[in-house]
């Protein structure tokens, strides 16, 4: 599949691709599911260095937008980023089954 792709030189397509990559990196650098484990293993400072400087490096070079510019639904009243996941785009506001797995629609 990759071999069949043709490189683009269209500035609009390239800008769109860069913006999409930046959005992804912003999301992952803030909402990476490995953050709690890395924090427990190496401490908060080393965890942040690893995530920002290695795993998702480029968030400052690829664009100027911040996480909340891309994902405003995560903004708390005090301006911080919500820790819980958003239900935006989900079919249900809560899980449609009980603790035993029985559907409770």
SS3 (DSSP) at 14: helix
CA-CA-CA-CA torsion for 90, 96, 97, 98, nearest 10 degrees? 100
Domain annotation covers residue 6 = no
What is the SS3 assignment for 24-72?
Answer: HHHHHHHHCCCHHHHHHHHCHHHHHHHHHHHHCCCCCCCCCCCHHHHCH
Over residues 66-79, the pLDDT tens digits come to: 999 999 989 999 99
Over residues 36-88, the pLDDT tens digits come to: 999 999 999 999 999 988 998 877 788 889 999 999 989 999 999 988 765 55
Of the candidates 74, 73, 92, the residue with the CA atom closest to the CA atom of residue 83? 74
Domain annotation covers residue 75 = yes
Domain annotation covers residue 97 = yes
Number of domains in the chain: 1
- Angstrom CA distances, 44 to 5, 48, 52, stand at 41, 6, 12
Domain with 68, as residue range(s), is: 11-105
């Amino acid at each position: 599949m990759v071999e069949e792709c043709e490189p683009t030189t269209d500035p609009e397509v390239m800008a769109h691709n860069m913006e999409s990559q930046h959005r992804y990196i912003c999301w992952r650098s803030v909402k990476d599911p490995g953050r709690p484990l890395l924090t427990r293993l190496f401490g908060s400072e080393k965890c942040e260095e690893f995530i920002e400087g290695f795993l998702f490096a480029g968030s400052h070079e690829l664009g100027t937008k911040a996480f909340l510019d891309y994902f405003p639904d995560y903004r708390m009243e005090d301006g911080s980023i919500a820790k819980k996941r958003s239900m935006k785009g989900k079919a249900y506001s809560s899980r449609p089954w009980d603790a035993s797995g029985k559907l409770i629609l």
